[in-house]
Amino acid sequence: MGFLDKILGRKPKVEQPIVQPIELPTETPKPKSKLTLEKKIGLNLEKMNLNLNETVFVLDVSGSMGDRIYGKEKIDSLRDIMEKYQDAKMICFSTNVKSINKASDIPDPSGSTDLAEALIYVGRNISPEPKKIVLISDGQPDSKPKALLIAKELEIPIDIIFIGTSGTYSEKFMEELANATGGKHFVV
């Protein structure tokens, strides 16, 4: 910087750094794929290490199982995953309870969620007595106190796969039910 520049108040020239261009990707990264409801249920069933000769599946087929999740009705996801467990004992429950022999016999969703009656059915009609119950449900039972009482009387661990949102009143009941029977609790 010269004498004249100082008198005139000129600032010294600062050399600008050379900026290198950044190469941007030409493709947008693919988002991580979401697991389907069927896959989420299946992954949790695998964690249970089930002996199908000693297990009974208690499957909720109430009206809310007709709701869609990931573009598919919950009942259809249930049917699809239960295809892999054809050798297991299965009962379906809503307002009524019935045994089924294969996944394709799972009825269309209707009615309420009479879990207490489903548990009574297991105690009276499943022979030999199962050593584990796997309950797959998306809702609140019609009578929580009655369902909890009967579950405790059965003295059979109930592993639960709850289809719904963690932290809801329904999910908290399902967790309580699993804990009261010595079972495990999963949310999908």
Q: Could you tell me the pLDDT band of residue 10, with boundaries at 50, 70 and 90?
A: low
Give the residue with greater pLDDT, 42 vs 31: 42
**How confident is the model over 90-130, as pLDDT tens digits?**
999 999 999 999 999 999 999 999 999 999 999 999 999 99
Residue 54 identity (one-letter amino acid) = E
Q: Return phi, psi of residue 30, to 5°.
A: -75, 135
Place of tokens 């054809």: 86
The answer to whether the predicted template modeling score (pTM) of the entire model surpasses 0.85 is no
- pLDDT over 60 at 42, yes or no: yes
Helix (H, G, I), strand (E, B) or coil at 131: coil
The reported pLDDT for the residue numbered 60 is 98
111 in the Ramachandran plot: left (φ > 0), alpha (ψ -120 to 50) or beta? left
The reported pLDDT for the residue numbered 35 is 85
Among residues 44, 47, 46, 134, the alpha carbon closest in space to that of 89 is found at 134
The reported pLDDT for the residue numbered 49 is 87
Long-range contacts of 99-107 (CB under 8 A, 24+ apart): 99/125, 103/79, 104/79, 106/59, 106/61, 106/75, 106/78, 106/79, 106/82, 107/61
Sketch the domain layout of the chain as residue ranges: 35-187
CATH number of 35-187: 3.40.50.410
Among residues 54, 52, 115, the alpha carbon closest in space to that of 82 is found at 52
The reported pLDDT for the residue numbered 121 is 98
**How confident is the model over 130-143, as pLDDT tens digits?**
999 999 999 889 99
**How confident is the model over 159-170, as pLDDT tens digits?**
999 999 999 999
Among residues 153, 88, 144, 95, the alpha carbon closest in space to that of 120 is found at 153
